[in-house]
Chains A and B, each alone.
Chain A
Amino acid sequence: MWYGDARSRVAVVIVMLVGLWLVLSGVPGSAQERSQPPTPARKPIIVCSTTQVADFTRQVVGDACEVRCILAPGADPHTYMPTPGDAKLALSADLCLQNGLHLEGKNWMATLAKDAGKPLATCTDGVKPLELEAEGQKIADPHAWFSPRNAAIYINNIVKAVSALDPSKAADFRARAKLYLQQLRVLDSWIREQFNAIPPEQRILVTSHDAFNYLSTEYGFQNRAPVGWSTGAEVGAGVTPERRKQVIASIKSFGVKAVFVETSVNPKLVREIAREAGVKVGGTLYSDSMGEIGTAGDTYIGMMRENVLTIIDALK
């Protein structure tokens, strides 16, 4: 009989013991262990369009992902033309991140991601954009990061995108984001306190192009710029003689103490306006891009801090 056979009995016992061992070894913490995906062979690569987006992303992912940025510090996202190297970089990406609201002139980041067949997340999703009126058209102002409150929205969008990319690290991403959001809160509070030292009637910000509306709206400044929302050739962008005249008139009528040039825009025009209006150039502001690595403005918080101090020193 089958069960009477000694070898068969031994085989059945062995099979049962192996089964028992499998059951027991699989049980403790099994749910948690099963949910963890295998360790990836390489770090995921995230390709960002602008320096600000790249900095926000690094704050969230730490060393868990490799963060690369298309724009170099000081580069202008409105007029940037992607290179073959950028296309190659996009091909290597696991995720692409852009500012959105047409900051990337002619949607170059979306095009790079699409051509490479890579997922793209937009950091300004959910931002309530300021609207600029230009040539009868309403244009959403893309410079949303100049309000730390909006920077918090960028962070939330990045957390969502990178958590989808690597769910096993989502808890770490959220923990880092929480700390960074606290830093943004402190930054916001510090900016309010600092700008409070400038009398309200002197809070007029004259810059190269229309990039500081969010900063101005958040902290009670009036904003004047000879160049529109973009330095490129889009609707409502570029310099017009009319805008130039208005800016000079504003400087004279409001008794503006100083005007500011920007790191990513040619300073020639603002210097001419300053000379014409008889005011000083108060300094250089980081606008569409952060500073070179090793400078005080090589992070978002650093660039905001330095901008605020430059404005206060000139207008107080």
Chain B
Amino acid sequence: MRPALTVLIWLVLVGGLAFYMNHRTAVHNAPHVDLHAADGQVTVEVTTTFPLEPDPFALHGSGSDDAPALVVRVNGRDVLRRTERVEAGSPIRVDSVSGLAQGKNEIYVEANPPLDMAGKSQAVRVRVLQDSSVIADRSLWSDEANKIAAAFAVNIEAPQPKERDTHGH
């Protein structure tokens, strides 16, 4: 009886330790979440000088929409993927953007013009609005042959005092 009890206790202790170590590894590899994320309503608005079309030169196998016409990423996370054709000059808005943190954030935009528009420079206008105020307004230009793929930094200010955490965290 005692040997069995000894082995049982050992299994519980070592098993618990193994579980803890595995869990710790998973937590360590998980994406960083900023506990001080921006609270204000942030909108990203994209307007292109060209019709957006699915990319015939995309690498497939990474998801259900493998050949996106437009991708918007915030801090490395997709917030918008459009695979259908969108006419030139139509603003595309992403409201209540999540994943933003106070301070510096990176906005990445990838937009694909039709192949028959190659040879002409194209542009995408990206506006970032916080609580309806424009906090960034950038034009991203393509090389003649390429789709537009560019990133820029935008600074998100601290939330208004009324929205602040009363505990000072």
A interface residues with partner B (beta carbon < 8 Å): 2-3, 12, 16, 19-20, 23-24, 27-31, 148-149, 152, 155-156, 159-160, 163, 174, 177-178, 181-182, 184-186, 188-190, 192-193, 196
Closest chain-A Cβ to B79's Cβ sits at a distance in Å of 22
Q: Does B88 contact A (CB under 8 A)?
A: no
Cβ A156 vs Cβ B119 within 8 A = no
Bound state CA distance, A192 and B114, in angstroms?
Answer: 12
Instruction: Give per-residue flags for B54-66: 1 if the beta carbon is below 8 A from chain A beta carbons, else 0.
Output: 0011111110000
Bound state CA distance, A135 and B60, in angstroms?
Answer: 38
Closest chain-A Cβ to B64's Cβ sits at a distance in Å of 15
Closest chain-B Cβ to A231's Cβ sits at a distance in Å of 30
Residues from chain B with a CB closer than 8 A to the CB of A184 are: 57
Cβ B57 vs Cβ A23 within 8 A = no
Cβ A2 vs Cβ B59 within 8 A = no
Bound state CA distance, A12 and B8, in angstroms?
Answer: 13
Bound state CA distance, A80 and B61, in angstroms?
Answer: 34
* A/B interface sample: 26 pairs, CB < 8 A: A2-B2, A16-B14, A20-B17, A23-B17, A23-B18, A23-B21, A24-B17, A24-B21, A28-B21, A31-B25, A149-B115, A159-B60, A160-B61, A163-B61, A174-B62, A181-B57, A181-B59, A182-B57, A184-B57, A185-B57, A186-B146, A188-B57, A192-B119, A193-B119, A193-B144, A196-B119
Cβ A185 vs Cβ B61 within 8 A = no
Residues from chain A with a CB closer than 8 A to the CB of B2 are: 2-3
What is the number of contacts between chain A and chain B, taking CB atoms within 8 Å? 82
15 more contacts with CB within 8 A, not counting A24-B21, A181-B58, A185-B147, are A3-B6, A16-B14, A19-B14, A20-B17, A23-B18, A27-B22, A181-B57, A185-B57, A186-B145, A188-B118, A189-B119, A189-B145, A189-B146, A192-B115, A193-B118
Closest chain-A Cβ to B12's Cβ sits at a distance in Å of 12
Instruction: Give per-residue flags for B12-29: 1 if the beta carbon is below 8 A from chain A beta carbons, else 0.
Output: 001001100110010000
B57: which of A3, A12, A152, A192 is its contact (CB, 8 Å)? A152
Q: Does B116 contact A (CB under 8 A)?
A: yes
Q: Does B3 contact A (CB under 8 A)?
A: yes
